[in-house]
Every structure is written in C-alpha cells, then in structure tokens.
Structure 1
Amino acid sequence: MSELEWKPQKNSSVPLHQQISDFMKKKILNGEWTIGTKIPPQRNLANLFQVNRSTIVIALEELAADGLIESKVGSGTRVTNNTWSLLASNPPPDWFSYVKSGIHKPNITIIQEINKAEADPNMVRLGTGELSPKLLPNKIMGQTLQIDGEQSLSLGYMEPKGSLSLRKTVSAYLRTKGIEASPESILIVSGGLQALQLISLGLLNRGSTILHETPSYLNSVHVFQSSGMNLLGISMDKEGIKCDSIGRMKRQHHAALLYTIPTFHNPTGTLMSEQRRMELIDVCQKASIPIIEDDVYGDLWIENPPPKPLKANDTQGNVLYIGSVSKTLSPGLRIGWIVGPEPVINRLADIKMQTDYGSSSLSQYAVEKWLSSGMYEEFLTEIRTELKYRRDFTIKILNEYFSKIATWSIPKGGFYIWLRLESDISTKKLFDLALREHILLNPGMVYEKNDFNHLRLSYSFASLEQLEEGLIRLSQLIKTLS
C-alpha cells in the first residue's frame, strides 16, 4: 500500500477528500484490499497522497460511515467489509489469514525496507551488492543477442540439466579454476539463490541443521528456514571460517551440511586462505559433513587471483559447488550452475523441472556465447580495473572521514567492506536516519541478528560522486548519534 502511484488531482472540481475516499473504496470493492488489510496511519496517508492530514480524516470518516473500515485503539484501522461480504450469505475468504499462514517466512522488516528503497532512483545505495548499471555490458549484450539464421538457438524447453552446449562451456571454464567436472555433473540454474532452494528441497529433511559462517548471507534470505531447517553459525577470523568446532557441532547438532563463501565472503569480504581451505576440506571429510561452496564472487579478484576453490581439491565428491554470472556479467540473466556428484545433480535437475521446467533458453544462449568467445574474460579484466579504482577511492574516503569512528580491512576482491563502528550507537537508528536523507545502508543485523556494530559497505554500485557524498554524510550522521 505504501507504493501507490495514484495521487488526487488538485485542480479537479471533485474535492480531494472525495477523490481519496473513492479511490480507497474502489480498492476495497475490487478485492485488492481484502478484509483485514491494515490502512496506514493518517500521517503516512497524508504524505502518500500529498494532502493535509485533515483531508485524510474526512476521507476515512466516509469509508467508516459506509461500513468498509473500522478503527480500534492499539490495532489501527483495518478493512472490515466490502460489498461482497455485505450481500453474500457466506463471507469471502480471509486472505489476510492466508498471507500469515504461508510456509515461506517473510523477510525481516529491515530487508523489506531495503528492497523497497532500492526502487527509489534518488537513493544513494551504499550497500547494494551488484555492479553499477553503468558497468554492465549493455551494448555488447545487445550485439550478442542479434542472432543470425546460421546460429543455433532454441526457444523451446531445454533438457533437465540445461543446455548441453552451455554445460560443456561451463565445464571448460571450470577447468581454468582447477575444477574437473563433466557436463553430466553440472546443472544450470536460475542464479545462486535457486541453487540453494533446490538443495533445501531435494537433499534435506525438515529440521536439518545447516552450519555456516557468522555473519552470513544465509541470514538475509530465508531459503533454508522456510523449508524447516535450522541455521547454526560458526565464527570467523581473518583467514575464514574457524574449523576447530565443526566436528563437535556436527555430532551435537546432527548437522547436515556446511555452507561457506570462501572467496570474498558476503558480507565481510574475507578471503579464505589456502591453508584454511585445505583444513576445512579435511575436517569436513573426517566429520562426514558435505560442503556447499558458494563461489559467485570468485572471478572478482582485484590484484591477484584467489586460491583455488574448495571444489578443486575435492577428491571424494564432498563439495557442492555453486557458480553464477549474476555478480559479474549481468544479474538480469539469472544464470548459474551447481556442480556435484551425478546422483545429486540428477535429483536436483528433477526438482528443477518440477518447479520451473528449466532456466531461460535465451539467457543460457547468451551466457554460452560470452564464455566460449573469450568476451567474458575480456570483460572481467575491465571490471577488475574498475573495482580496484572504486575500492581505492572508497578506502581513501574512509581514511579521511572514518579513521576515528570505525575500523575496516581492505578487501582483495568482491564488492564489500565490513565497517565496524567504534561507538555503541544503534545501527537501526542510523539506518532510519540515513534513509530519511536518501542514503541506503545494509546494517550488520541483516547478516547476524545480534550484530549492532557493523555496516556492509559496497563500492560496486553507487557512482563515485554518490560514494563520496554519501560516505561523507554518513560519517556526519554517525558522529551525530555518538
């Protein structure tokens, strides 16, 4: 309701309160606002419709007189009736109760606020984890999709595991990372998030426990929780996830899987050392706990390539490897892959066919062309140069304006700087205050509910001008709250 585009016409002969009342009545009578729908507070409606609060009061009084809404102290104003319910012998379905009953957990409130604010073109997005639209290869992508009659393109459904041509190309691409994977052991998916959804649906029992780094990207999405899984965090240090407690936690909590982002971790930007990677593989093999390796940031190194993925040193089929072009080539293509033992891939492919009948054939065609032609590597070279400049530019601003109020590490790749605030200010208050000034932040509580000291800063999305202005203003807001 807070995203309404309609506004009353102030030059109309119809009074403003009547326009608003008629608009809201139409929403109710059409069933768009069902019984139980909460009407925003009067002040919010006044801002939404850009009118005086007294105008809203009159409009709501008319709706209440018609028996369509009702106000109660402590619970606000809600839709209580519509024409259907007034005339029908049986009441209409209570969609509000259905919404509350869905098995998929809603995003936490602050993530819903972030998702909504990202649609505002005037927002300075200091936490968004994707490439700036100006850095995406829009022109070349358009040329890639100019298909002539001699090129082979199918617009029909692909086979369950995805385009064979793309899987062969991905197989060759993975060899450059030290991963040996035949096309039969690769499943094309609609991005890394779908990979996690398929794993939760196809491989795990309800009530299973997933181990993960803390803080973790998993806490910002409810993929496993909505499938009835439990998440259990393991602390990190500068080399990555600590391994000494994994065996014990596996035994105590009967953990089913360990999820990790070893390369340019989200949200901390940590790069797991080669020694820690070998230790993690060894510990998990001894504990008989499979690993989900999320490597969607692996190509975004800046000065030097990272250590090989965990999967490159997996000789027992213990690692399920997730890759994607969403963080590099284009988030809109929605193409990624899972690599694992063939029985697992076959199972996940079957689940995928039951849920969406295959990823976009056009997107698969485009990604195959980028990977096989060499354009992808050329593009990555350009992006690494741009990311280095942006990272160094951001670090310079932090050194100048944040040296006395925060600490951070310089990332070796990816998008993120994990900023730790020195004072005990409320990052939720900081988030709200910044949002009112059109600065969008990603507080640490998004990735660990009890983390009130960190911000995830991204140097990849906002323009350089926005980065500078937004960060300087952010430093001022922090000092105001300290």
Structure 2
Amino acid sequence: MEWKPDKAGETPLYLQIKDYIKNKIETGQWTVGMKIPSQRKLAERFEVNRSTVVTAFDELIAEGLLERKSGKGTRVKNNTWSLFSEQPPPDWSSYVKKSIHIPNLPTVQDIHKAEPLPHIIRLGTGEPSPELFPREMMARVLKRLPSRIRSLGYEEEKGLYPLREQLSAYMKTLGISVSPSSILIVSGALQALQLISVGLLRRGSTVLLEKPSYLSSLNVFPSSGIRLFGLPMDATGLQLLALRKHRKRQNASLLYTNPTFHNPTGTVMPVEKRKLLLKICEEEQLPVVEDDVYRELWLDSPPPKPLKAMDNNGSVLYIGSFSKALSPGLRIGWIAGSETVIDRLADIKMQTDYGSSSLSQWAAAEWLSSGLYAEHLGQMRSSLRDRRDLAEELLRTEFEGIAEWVKPAGGFYVWLRLPQGLSLRELFEDALKAGILLNPGHLYDGDDDCHLRLSYAYASVSDMRKGMAKLAGLIRGLASRR
C-alpha cells in the first residue's frame, strides 16, 4: 500500500482510513468476500495506532461494507452498488481459491510485501545491490542502440538473432557448442522453468532435484500438476547414490540441478562428480535441466565447466541469465538444448507473450558484442569478493557459538546453520519487526528448521553491518528463551 494518511491534514486519521478502504471497495479493487489485512498490519503500514484502524473498521461495519467473524478475520461484505442490486455480485474470492495456479508460500508472500519498504534491511535478497548496477556502462550501451535497432516490432519466435549469435559465441567460451537455432531467449530463468513445466512434462510426472533447492520455493511445477522429489546433498552437491536409487522408484521424468554455486547452499559440484552424474543420467535415460545462472559470479577461481559442456547426447537443457551478473530488470535469459526441444518451447512462448522485450534483447546483444559484459563481470566479482569477505568477518565476530557456515566460493549466499530448536517463523517475524528481512530455510526445503539463506549481494555495506549485528542479537535472544 503506497497510500498513507495525512497526519498534518484537518480530516481525522480514522476517517481518512475509512474513506481509503471504502474507495477500494466501491471501485471493485477489494471485492465482496475478500479478506482484508488485519488491523495490526494496517496500523503498521499506515503508521498509526491500532485503535485508529479499529474505529475506521467499526464505521465500515456499521455501514454494511465489512463484516468481522471470529477466527476468520475481516472481509468485504458489500459494496455500495451491491446493496441495491437484486443479484449478488460475483464472488471473486471463490474464483481465486479454485484457480489452478498454487499461491506462493505465505513466507514468500510476506517477503514480497516487505521488500519495497524503505526501512527494511534485506539480508536474504537474491539480486545484486543497486550499488553494483553498472550505470555508466549501461548508459554507453543504451546510447549505441538507436544506430543498431532497425525496429522494435516482434522478434522471431526464438528471439533476436543477433543476440542468439552472441550467446552462441559466449557459450563456446564455457565449452558449450550450440548454434543460434538451438537457443531460445526467455524473460529470465523463471520463464524457462515455466515453459519446461508446461511444454515437456505431463501432469503426474515427477521431477528430481536437490534438497534444499531454489525450485522448492516456487510453485511453477506443482501448479502444472508435476511432483517434486528432493534428493539429499553432501559437501560436493547432489548425492549420486540417491539419484540412482530414486530414479526408478519415483519413475522420474527429469532431473533439475544447480551444480555451480548452488542456491541456497553455495555448493560447487567437482568435475569428476559432474561426469559421473551425466553418465548415470544417460544410463537411466533421464533428461537434465541445468540451472547455471550464478556461473560467472566466481570469487576465488573459475568453477568446473557446465554439465552441458560434457553433454554429447543432447540430454541437457541449459539455462542461463543476465539477472544475477548484470541486471534482473533486463529480464533476459536463455535456454540452450536440442532443436526439437527449443522449437517446442519457442512455440509455447509465442502463445504466452509473443516474445521477450525487443529493446532488452538489443541491449543484451550490445553488452556481449561490445566486450562490456566481460569487463563488467571482472568488476562485479571484485565487489562481490569484498562483500563476501565482509560477511565472513561479521559472521566470525557476531555469530561465534550460535551458527555454523561454509565460506562460499561464489554466488550470493551463505547457508547459515542455527541451533536446533529455534523457531524460524518466530525469528522471521522478530527480524521483520526489527527492520530485517530474512529468507528462512524452509522455503527451499519444507523440512528445514535450522537454516537461513543470507545474501551478501544486496544490502549496502552499512546495512549489512547493522543488520548482521541485530540478527545475531535476535538469535541469541531466542536461544536464551528456549
């Protein structure tokens, strides 16, 4: 909610809040049957006393616009035109509940609502800090585009050809030989996963993945009727014995893996294990989706080559993106794989959005062809290395005796292990009240009750120092109350 009552105005605050809610209801933004935010949450967002919100609610209830039921919160009862209508208005809430797409986890919804708040220190956010945005380089790229762009119409179904040419050349540097016709431009890695979920798998299929995994924080596959089955990890990544064991038991259709700077653990799978993983998948005829969006963010030494670079049978679908290393707002990623698969996914993408932003594709092509992307990566690694080292220093100073972790070699994250018995939900809520936003481990593994995904990529250096000290204090406080 961007709106806040005017505390300097002549109209009483409760009336301002009443009029705001009434307008939401009368204009159909808050529909009949919809559960509205609690009095406590509204008081926090409007920065007023709870009693002020209670008074506004009471007036709206008296006017017949809201109703309050014990244990079920407050809901929209009527709007002014429905009071005079012979037929009841549509119950949009029932449509929402019956829709096929599963809503985000409640904690994920809370995170999305809190992220825009200006006072929040985001210690879990998986994107580069605004401080790391290459403003001057981006200005140079955008300045060159008018002479490059012939039009801003729809691009061909697989995406802008000059960009796919550049990506083909770029992936050769990673050991991947793939032609432009085997590359599909997508609006970020998330869309790649969505296309795979609806374009390659049947309802009732099973996808194997690491446990924990970023994919578990999304409902992309479950919303398509596809089951996720987590496989245990060790210090070198996915446990291959578990892969052999569960491939047949689960009748799995696909393996999703993030072997390089794994999200959320930061693990890097060694080269020999990658070869063995591919061998097992080839023997089991199990296709692989390799999520490699953190590859270029190595901080100490380059990681092993991608699985796709070792793939001689076309069994690996490779997902890359500019979101982590350059800019999430560019919304440009790509899938590389066999032409049969790419043709299928391109057809579905055309049915979905008729192509990613043409302007963004031209900008991405210019980043690659100009050499600025390679230059930027060097600067990005240097900045992230400093941030990683600062996070390590703060952890040693503030978290001694209350947490365990492994120093990451790249990516954005520290996978922080906390003492058993702490309530991660309570910690999340206490931290939010203290102005700190966290990503608890259960987002990536529903059974996890002792990890936090800490990011050293987003918060400013001063916020990181302040936030980590506050977080350590909250953890010690919770531990002392056990």
Could you state the TM-score of these two structures normalised by the residue count of structure 2? 0.96
Q: Is 1:362 aligned to residue 359 of structure 2?
A: yes
Task: Decide whether the 8 Å contact of 1:213 with 1:235 is kept in 2.
Answer: yes
* RMSD of Structure 2 on Structure 1 (CA): 1.6
| Displacement after TM superposition at 1:9 (Å) | 5.0
SS at match of 2:143: coil
Q: 1:59 to 1:399 in 2, by over 3 A?
A: closer
**Separation in 1, partners of 2:439, 2:176:** 34
| Aligned position for 1:256 | 253
User: Structure 2 stretches of 5 or more lacking a match?
Assistant: none
User: Structure 1 stretches of 5 or more lacking a match?
Assistant: none
| Displacement after TM superposition at 1:92 (Å) | 1.2
| Aligned position for 2:317 | 320
SS at match of 1:317: coil
Matches within 5 A, 1:80-479: 80-147=77-144, 150-479=147-476
Q: 1:41 to 1:368 in 2, by over 3 A?
A: closer
Could you state the TM-score of these two structures normalised by the residue count of structure 1? 0.96
Deviations 1:322-360 (A, max 9, x none): 011110111111111101110100000000000010111
After alignment, is 461-470 or 209-218 more displaced? Answer: 461-470
Task: Decide whether the 8 Å contact of 2:149 with 2:362 is kept in 1.
Answer: no
Identity of aligned residues (%): 55
Task: Decide whether the 8 Å contact of 2:25 with 2:79 is kept in 1.
Answer: yes
| Displacement after TM superposition at 1:372 (Å) | 1.4
Task: Decide whether the 8 Å contact of 1:219 with 1:447 is kept in 2.
Answer: yes
| Displacement after TM superposition at 1:463 (Å) | 1.4
Q: Is 1:21 aligned to residue 39 of structure 2?
A: no
**Separation in 2, partners of 1:132, 1:178:** 30
Task: Decide whether the 8 Å contact of 1:8 with 1:49 is kept in 2.
Answer: no
| Displacement after TM superposition at 1:361 (Å) | 0.9
**Separation in 1, partners of 2:190, 2:289:** 12
Deviations 1:91-110 (A, max 9, x none): 11111111112211111111
Aligned equivalent of 1:5, options 3, 10, 14: 3
SS at match of 1:411: coil
**Separation in 2, partners of 1:112, 1:294:** 24
Task: Decide whether the 8 Å contact of 2:299 with 2:410 is kept in 1.
Answer: yes
Task: Decide whether the 8 Å contact of 1:444 with 1:455 is kept in 2.
Answer: yes
**Separation in 2, partners of 1:55, 1:149:** 54
SS at match of 2:263: coil
Q: How many residues align?
A: 479
Deviations 1:54-76 (A, max 9, x none): 44344333322222222222222
Q: 1:383 to 1:91 in 2, by over 3 A?
A: same
Q: 1:333 to 1:47 in 2, by over 3 A?
A: closer
